[in-house]
Structures are given as structure tokens and as C-alpha cells.
Chains A and B, each alone.
Chain A
Amino acid sequence: MNASCLNIANLSAVLPNGARVLRSVSLSVQPGEVRALVGESGAGKTMIGKAVLGVLPPSVRIVEGDMLLEGEDLGRLQPKARRTLIGARTALIPQDPLTALNPSRRIGPQMTDRLVRILGWSGQGADARIRQLLDEVQIRDPDRVLKCYPHELSGGMRQRVLIAAAFAAEPRLIVADEPTTALDVTVQKQILRLIAQLQREHGTAILFVTHDLGVVAKISQKVSVLYAGKVVEEAETAALFAAPQHPYTRALMAATPRYTDPFASLKPVDDAVLAGLAAEIAAADQAWRRPHG
């Protein structure tokens, strides 16, 4: 699978108390492809993104599995080499642009920092690059924006800035962690459109974490549905919406509100579905524990 941009195989992670938070997760992202990770809170979707970026919380320990970034085995690299590789080839679009930006620094230096300090660009080169990206995210007055402090920009503008920063160093893979969840719907649509456009033009692969099946349908080509750290269904996005296979996927779809069909949507998830999931997870854990003691 050397052709994959990202290949995760059998990834399991545990908490100090032994509870598995990722349960033999396997997925791949091809170059230039958007893969959505969808699930409810606690499904482990953000955890997978953090594992890829090497920023798992200290309490979470990876106990099994491989992560290959463009064919390079992240598990076999020395920590420093791993950080360098991840820093050069990946980027993050975070959920909350306000906490991701330093409130006491102007936008300009925050955006060029990474290019200059970590990737060794010249100050001028970084500045020119950032202005080019600001233009791509349709910020028409870069001079003003670069001089602003984060609080002086609207939520949509801040997210544009972070999208520009994410694409600036031409990463091969971007982890987008709920990038539109905090935004109003009209702004969300603009931001999704921008991400899709830049992703197409730059040929970047995206691991797109979201809880919203509507966003999944619009932005992704492939999708992994997660529950309790386990991939319960994996499919091409069009196929998933045409014919969801797993009962949980079907239940999620029925629970998602649709203004076009108010009474067929918003169906509470059936207890039988949840009981089935619990049994599936318990069986998987038992099978996993046997060889692992």
C-alpha cells in the first residue's frame, strides 16, 4: 500500500486503566482524497487525528498497529525524525480558531512562524507565500488582516486564516478536526467550499473529522463510521448514503434531522441497535485480549 498517503492498520490505543480507546482501527487515505471520520462524542475520531499528528495526550498509549505516512512507518522512526516528517508533510485545521491562535500576537507573524522557524523559509518568502494563500481563501485585504489580533476577526475570517496557514507549506495530508462546527450555517458553507476548492487545486489529502453526516455527504469521497473507537462501517461516501450497511449507520442517518423530510428524520436510536453495538464491541475486545493477555 505504498501508494497511500496515509495508511493506518490495526491501530489500538489504551488508557492507563487498560480500557481501549481505539479498537484495531484500519483506514487509508489516498493522495488527494478526502476521507471523513464520522461518529458521536467518544467515538475516537479526534483521537485518530491526534495519533496521526503525534499529539496524543500522554495518558493514551498506542499498544498495537502501524501508521504509514507516504510509506514511512511512523512507529519505526526516532521521535525527532518522526516530528520532522509529520511537521513537513501534515497540517491541522482545528475546530476552534480562537483557541488555536495566540490572542496576544498579530495574525501575520503567527502565520509565518511555522514556515520560517520550523521549515526554514526566508521571512520574505514566507510573507509572500502567506499573502498568496490569503488570496486563495478570498481575503481581499491581507494588509489589514495580517496586522489584526485574533479577536478583531470574525469566526469565519479566523477559520479562513487557519485554512490558509494549513495549506501554506503544501502538506500532503491535512487533519481537519470539526473545522466548521463552531460556525453559523452560511459561513460553514463558505468554509467547506473553500476547503474543497483548495484541496482540489493543491491535491491535498484530508482526514476530515466531523459528527455531521450532512458535512460528510458534501465534502468527502470516502468515509469511516466510528463507534467507541471502532470502525463499524467503511465505504465510498456515495455508496454509504445509497445503501448504509451497518445498523448503527442506518440509525445515525435516521436520527439526523432533515428539513426536507421532518417526520422521517430525527428518529431516536433504537435500544436494540445500541445493544448490538455493545455486544459487537465486547466480542471484539475479547478476541483482542486473548493473544494480548
Chain B
Amino acid sequence: MAEPLFSVRGLKVALPDMTRKPLIGRAPMVEILKGLDFDLPRGSVTGIVGESGSGKSTLGRALVRLLEPSAGSITFDGRDITHLPEAELRPLRRNLQMIFQDPMSSLNPRRTIASIIAAPLRQNGFGDNLKGRVAEALQRVGLPQSFASRYRHELSGGQRQRVGIARALALSPKFVLADEIVSGLDVSTQAQILTLLEKLAAEMGLTVAFISHDLSVIRRLCRQVIVMREGAIVEASATDALFEKPQQAYTRDLISAIPLPEIDEGWLLPAAKVPA
């Protein structure tokens, strides 16, 4: 178990900058990720936090190889997947699953819940006993069996996100990417979804990359945290250490900007420094 599930070295990702695309011809490339090094240990939940534009979602998409890196390497489960062509990635995909931010747009409106959950099973050659497998997936996320024949619009936001989790976990993957999976939910629902993910990750021994802008949620869920800013890693450490002894000023700013649900008269008083 010493070998990490993911080993990332010098990872760079460049994407075309569509705002500077000439009328005819290619858009110039802009470097989104500027050389990242980190490991994701097996069976652990790692938080990836940063503000909008920090590159956290791009990093997630590179990990599951929805994007091809422009430099560096990604080793997954002992295998270099940095530049694997899609055909060779396909057998690995069952172990690289995603839960999306918005279950409304990531669930097909015209398919039943059962068919949505069954899709990855069918794709990966588990077409036998589909009914039983779907029933098991629904039970795992705490949804009643009657939901199998329903459609996405008949479900609440929290129930939809449970379906998203059921689909991602149907294949018992080694790795799950969870990108802002609770940011569209109410706090009461958010707590349910997070405790569910926490429980399933522990039971199934999942390795999870949990992308979020919310450090409070990360503290609860994650064993380690990667703080990102402008495509680079600002700080990466064990969660408790990060909160108790943040090493970087940026991390301290991020933590102190969270409005805790408790009275603090001084919180809104103007700071000494002028905001940029």
C-alpha cells in the first residue's frame, strides 16, 4: 500500500485561449496548470481547494484524462496514463469515475434512474444481472427501489446527487473525482450528501479527489489538502496541520475569509491593507 494511487509530476496543462482567438486560425495556448507535483495515497480523500480560476477543475479533468497534459506525467495505479490514447484508456475508465457539480445537467432527462445507473455497468461489460446491480447501487446511496423507474425531474436536488454518486460507484472504482458536488445544495441536504460520501469512501476504500471552494467542508471530509492559486500549488499538507499552522499567507487569508456562523464583531472591521 506504500505506492500512491496517483503520482503526479511536473503536470502542465495548456488550453486554447478563446478570448484571444483570431477570426481565422487557432487560438493561442494559455498555460492553466503550471507544473504540479503531488501524490494521492490509496484509500484517502484529498481536498483540492482554490478560488475560481485557480485551475482546480482543470486539474480534476486532467486526473481522469478528460484533458491531455502538455507536459509532466500522471501515473495511475502504477501505469503512466499521461498520453494514453482513448482506446487504451477505455479499460481504465471504470476505475476513474466522476461525480459532477450539477446533477440536473449531468443526468439524462429522458432516461430512467435505473437506466442512468446501468449505463456505466453496460459499457464495461457487466450487462448480466443489471437489475440486481442497480438495486444494490440505489440501496448503497439510501434511495428507495421505487426510484429505479423515475426520471430526474421527479427527484429533489439531494436525491439527484445521490443518483450521481450511485452511478459513479456502480463499478466499485478505485478513484472518484468529486467536483463541487454540494455547492448547489442547501446546507441540510449538503450535510446528508457529504456524510454519505464520507461513509461510502471509508467502506469501499475509495481514493477521492474532492474539489471544493469551501474549506469548512474540506476540513471535515479530507485527510489532506492541496491549496491552489493561479494554476500552481500554494500549499499541500495534512488537513489538521493546514488549519492549525497554515504556512502561506494566502492559505491564512482563505481560512480567515470564511464567515463562521458565530458572532464576531471584529470580522467586518476594515483590515489594515487596502484590497487589491
Listed in ascending order, the chain A residues whose CB lies under 8 Å from chain B are 40-41, 138, 155, 184-190, 192-193, 196-197, 211-219, 237-238, 241-242, 251-253, 255-260, 262-263, 265-269
Contacts and interface: CB of A to CB of B under 8 A. Distances in A.
B10 to A, nearest CB: 27
B216 A259 contact: yes
A179 to B, nearest CB: 13
Please classify how large the interface on chain B is, using the bins under 10, 10 to 19, 20 to 34, 35 or more. Answer: 35 or more
Contacts of A216: 261
B188 A262 contact: no
Nearest to A263: B220
B270 A268 contact: no
A265 B51 contact: no
A212 to B, nearest CB: 7
A97 B10 CA distance: 37
Interface stretch (B87-95, B131-139, B167-175, B252-260): B252-260
Interface stretch (B110-118, B119-127, B190-198): B190-198
Contacts of A190: 275
11 contacts: A41-B186, A185-B51, A185-B213, A185-B257, A187-B51, A213-B261, A242-B263, A255-B190, A258-B261, A259-B218, A266-B190
Contacts of B269: 193
Nearest to A189: B257
A115 B103 CA distance: 43
Nearest to B157: A41
B108 to A, nearest CB: 23
Contacts of B214: 257
Contact of B263 (A187, A241, A263): A241
Contacts of A237: 263
B243 interface: yes
B186 to A, nearest CB: 4
A192 B191 contact: no
B189 to A, nearest CB: 8
Nearest to B220: A262
Nearest to B218: A259
A93 B214 CA distance: 24
B191 A267 contact: yes
B258 A193 contact: no
Interface string B223-265: 0000000000000000000010000000001110111111110
A214 B270 contact: no
Given A138-B274, A197-B270, A238-B263, A186 B188 contact: no
B191 A255 contact: yes
Given A217-B264, A257-B216, A193 B191 contact: no
B243 A259 contact: yes
Nearest to B193: A268
B216 A262 contact: yes
B176 to A, nearest CB: 19
A186 B260 contact: no
Contacts of B258: 185, 214, 259
